[in-house]
Chains A and B, each alone.
Chain A
Amino acid sequence: MLELRSITAGYARNAPVVRDVSLTVAPGESVGLLGPSGCGKSTLARVAALLHRPDSGTLLLDGEPVRRWRHRAPREKRTAFGVVFQQARLSADPRLPLTDLIAEPLRATGRGDEVPGRIAELAPVVGLTSDLLTRRPHEVSDGQLQRACLARALVLRPRLLVCDEMTAMLDASTAAALVAAVEDYRAATGAALLAVGHDRTLLRRWCDRTVAWDSLI
Chain B
Amino acid sequence: MSAGLDVTPPVLSVRGLSVRFLMPGGRRVAAVTDARFDVAPGECLALIGESGCGKSVLASALLGLLPGNARTAGSALLGGLDLLTADERTLARTVRGRLIGLVPQSPAAHLTPVRTVRSQLEETVAALTATRGRAALRAAAEAAAERAAFPADHLDRHPHQLSGGLAQRAATALALVGDAPLLLADEPTTGLDRDLVDRTADELRRHVDEPGEGGRGRALLMITHDLAAAERIADRVAVMYAGRIVELADAAAFFGSPGPRHPYSRGLLQALPDRAFTPIPGMPPELGDLPDGCAFAARCDRATDACAAPPPPGTVACHHPHVPEDVRA
A residues apposed to B, CB below 8 Å: 36-38, 86, 127, 129, 141-144, 168-177, 179-180, 198-202, 204-206
Q: Are A171 and B268 in contact (CB under 8 A)?
A: yes
Q: Are A176 and B279 in contact (CB under 8 A)?
A: yes
A202 to B282 alpha-carbon distance, docked (Å): 21
Known: A179-B277, A199-B273, A205-B273. 4 other contacts (CB 8 A): A36-B196, A198-B194, A199-B193, A202-B273
Q: Are A36 and B283 in contact (CB under 8 A)?
A: no
- Of the candidates A171, A198, A204, which one forms a contact with B51 in the assembled complex, judged by CB atoms under 8 Å apart? A171
Q: Are B283 and A172 in contact (CB under 8 A)?
A: no
User: Residue of A at shortest CB range from B283?
Assistant: A127
A34 to B172 alpha-carbon distance, docked (Å): 28
User: Residue of A at shortest CB range from B267?
Assistant: A173
Contacts of B268 in A (CB 8 A): 171-173
Q: Does B316 contact A (CB under 8 A)?
A: no
Q: Are A176 and B50 in contact (CB under 8 A)?
A: no
Q: Are B283 and A144 in contact (CB under 8 A)?
A: yes
- Of the candidates B51, B163, B193, B278, which one forms a contact with A180 in the assembled complex, judged by CB atoms under 8 Å apart? B278
Contacts of A180 in B (CB 8 A): 278-279
Q: How large is the interface on B (under 10, 10 to 19, 20 to 34, 35 or more residues)?
A: 20 to 34
A171 to B224 alpha-carbon distance, docked (Å): 9
- Of the candidates A38, A86, A172, which one forms a contact with B272 in the assembled complex, judged by CB atoms under 8 Å apart? A172
Q: How far is the CB of B242 from the nearest CB of chain A, in Å?
A: 11
A37 and B50 in contact, given A170-B225, A172-B227, A201-B274 (Cβ under 8 angstroms)? no
> Beta-carbon contacts of B261-289 to A below 8 Å, as 1s and 0s?
00000011101111001111011000000
Contacts of A205 in B (CB 8 A): 273-274, 277
A174 to B273 alpha-carbon distance, docked (Å): 12
User: Residue of A at shortest CB range from B284?
Assistant: A141
- Of the candidates A37, A175, A198, which one forms a contact with B271 in the assembled complex, judged by CB atoms under 8 Å apart? A175
Contacts of B269 in A (CB 8 A): 172
Q: Are A171 and B225 in contact (CB under 8 A)?
A: yes
A40 to B160 alpha-carbon distance, docked (Å): 17
Q: Does B211 contact A (CB under 8 A)?
A: no
A173 to B227 alpha-carbon distance, docked (Å): 11
A170 to B278 alpha-carbon distance, docked (Å): 14
Q: Does B164 contact A (CB under 8 A)?
A: yes
A104 to B278 alpha-carbon distance, docked (Å): 30
Q: Are B52 and A142 in contact (CB under 8 A)?
A: yes
Contacts of A171 in B (CB 8 A): 49-51, 225, 268, 271
Q: How far is the CB of B8 from the nearest CB of chain A, in Å?
A: 33
Q: Are A141 and B50 in contact (CB under 8 A)?
A: yes
- Of the candidates B163, B190, B271, which one forms a contact with A172 in the assembled complex, judged by CB atoms under 8 Å apart? B271
**Of listed A129, A170, A171, A205, residue having the most chain B CB within 10 A:** A171
User: Residue of A at shortest CB range from B163?
Assistant: A38
Q: Does B195 contact A (CB under 8 A)?
A: yes
A-B pairs with lowest CB-CB distance, top 7: A141-B52, A171-B50, A177-B279, A198-B193, A176-B271, A176-B279, A172-B271
Q: Are B277 and A143 in contact (CB under 8 A)?
A: no
Q: How far is the CB of A214 from the nearest CB of chain B, in Å?
A: 13
Contacts of B65 in A (CB 8 A): none
Q: Are A129 and B225 in contact (CB under 8 A)?
A: no
Q: How far is the CB of B109 from the nearest CB of chain A, in Å?
A: 14
Q: Does B191 contact A (CB under 8 A)?
A: yes
Give B265-321 interface residues, CB cut-off 8 Å to A.
267-269, 271-274, 277-280, 282-283
A183 to B284 alpha-carbon distance, docked (Å): 23
Q: How far is the CB of A32 from the nearest CB of chain B, in Å?
A: 11
User: What are 21 A-B contacts with C-beta separation under 8 Å?
Assistant: A36-B196, A37-B192, A37-B193, A86-B191, A129-B283, A141-B50, A141-B51, A144-B52, A144-B283, A170-B225, A171-B49, A171-B225, A171-B271, A172-B225, A173-B280, A174-B50, A174-B279, A176-B278, A177-B279, A198-B193, A198-B194
A176 to B191 alpha-carbon distance, docked (Å): 18
Q: How far is the CB of B326 from the nearest CB of chain A, in Å?
A: 22
- Of the candidates B271, B278, B282, which one forms a contact with A127 in the assembled complex, judged by CB atoms under 8 Å apart? B282
Q: How far is the CB of B161 from the nearest CB of chain A, in Å?
A: 14
Q: Are B194 and A200 in contact (CB under 8 A)?
A: yes
Q: Are A36 and B193 in contact (CB under 8 A)?
A: yes
**Of listed B50, B164, B268, B280, residue having the most chain A CB within 10 A:** B50
- Of the candidates B190, B194, B196, B267, which one forms a contact with A169 in the assembled complex, judged by CB atoms under 8 Å apart? B190
Q: Are A142 and B271 in contact (CB under 8 A)?
A: no
A143 and B51 in contact, given A172-B269, A172-B271, A173-B280 (Cβ under 8 angstroms)? yes
Contacts of A176 in B (CB 8 A): 271-273, 277-279
Give B51-79 interface residues, CB cut-off 8 Å to A.
51-52
User: Residue of B at shortest CB range from A204?
Assistant: B273
User: Residue of A at shortest CB range from B269?
Assistant: A172
A180 to B227 alpha-carbon distance, docked (Å): 19
Q: Are A36 and B278 in contact (CB under 8 A)?
A: no
Contacts of A168 in B (CB 8 A): 190-191
Q: How far is the CB of A161 from the nearest CB of chain B, in Å?
A: 18
Contacts of A169 in B (CB 8 A): 51, 190-191
